[in-house]
Amino acid sequence: MGVKIITDSTADLPRELIQKYDIEVLPLMVNFGDKSYRDGVDITPGQFYEMLAGSKILPTTSQVNPPAFVSAYQRALDNGDAVISIHLSSKGSGTYQSAVIARDIIGSDRIFVIDSLGYSMGIGLIALAGARLARAGIAPEEIEKELLDLRDRMNYVFGVDTLEYLKKGGRLSPAKATIATVMNIKPILEVRNGELEVLDKVRGKKKALNRIIQIAREKSQNMEDKTVAIVHAACEEDAVQFRDMVVQEFNPGEVIVSEIGCVIGTHAGPGTIAIMFA
């Protein structure tokens, strides 16, 4: 019996890793007015950020529905595989609940659904770890245990250009989004218990990147044997610079650089840089 790893498009996994480990990615939807697109399928991040820049209204997003999960789970079970299904924070989307509903509809004890309590490549790192454990022949019950432990140790530190997108999208309350966007102030956020919290504010992108490094240092004393993810929203040059800073500062075992997809990008906005590690 094998183990099939299933996640959703908000994991922001690079295409080569999805293909290498045969991870199934179910797309959320991003909606511009009356037009809907499957995240990462009908629209690329590059196309999305171009549309976002020219849109007067903020696009909306919608979760993966239970029938999509039922179909994916049944295919895996019919193939003789158990399922480990890892999805974005239940506090930010109903996708996890859709997965639970699908599991209950099928009624199989070979489907394990995990609430990542996270976003973007934090989810991706958990899914990737699951795929590597599955390839090593680890039993699904043990994989679930390992991934829950990884989830509880995962750190997320974001630097965003503005809190406007998070406020408009309802991912951050207006009370928490009162940091001024004038004077080139860059908010620094983290994910805590599945929700976004403002950690600090600095002036300018360079200071923001340095502050993220400082916070990462405070949260982890040793990354030399760890996989670290760096993600960006339409600011690849900043991401390359930040990767070099991370390598110099921490010398991690593995660094994965990825672009933030359409759904997370709707709420984070262009210019976002983040680091995820456990």
CATH number of the domain enclosing 97? 3.40.50.10440
pLDDT of residue 223: 93
Same domain, 148 and 159: no
Q: What is the mean pLDDT of residues 247-272?
A: 94
Q: How many domains does the chain have?
A: 2
Same domain, 128 and 179: no
Chosen domain end from 102, 123, 153: 153
The distance from CA 25 to its chain's CA centroid, rounded to whole angstroms, is 12
* DSSP classification of residue 179: S
Same domain, 19 and 136: yes
Same domain, 233 and 266: yes
Global model pTM greater than 0.85? yes
User: What is the secondary structure of 238-256 as a DSSP string?
Assistant: HHHHHHHHHHHHH--SEEE
Per-residue pLDDT band for 180 (boundaries 50, 70, 90) equals: very low
Please give the radius of gyration of the chain, using alpha carbons only, rounded to the nearest integer: 18
Q: pLDDT of 139-160, one tens digit each?
A: 999 999 999 999 999 999 999 8
Same domain, 187 and 124: no
**8 Å CB contact between 87 and 13:** no
Same domain, 142 and 159: no
* Residue count (the chain): 278
Helix 236-250 to helix 205-219 angle (10° resolution) is 40
Residue 105 lies in a domain: yes
Residue 273 token pair:
């840089």
Chain position carrying tokens 């549309």: 51
Same domain, 73 and 174: no
Chosen domain end from 125, 153, 181: 153
Same domain, 168 and 194: yes
Q: pLDDT of 4-45, one tens digit each?
A: 999 999 999 999 999 999 999 999 999 998 899 999 999 999
Same domain, 165 and 254: yes
Strands, sheet with 254-259, edge to edge from the N-terminal-most edge strand: 195-203, 185-192, 155-159, 273-277, 227-232, 254-259
Percent of all residues in the chain with a pLDDT value above 90, rounded to a whole number: 79
Q: What values do phi and psi take at 253, rounded to 5?
A: -65, -35
Q: pLDDT of 182-199, one tens digit each?
A: 456 788 999 998 988 889
Same domain, 89 and 117: yes
pLDDT of residue 76: 98
Chosen domain end from 134, 153, 172: 153
Same domain, 161 and 187: yes
Same domain, 96 and 207: no
Domain range enclosing 174: 155-277
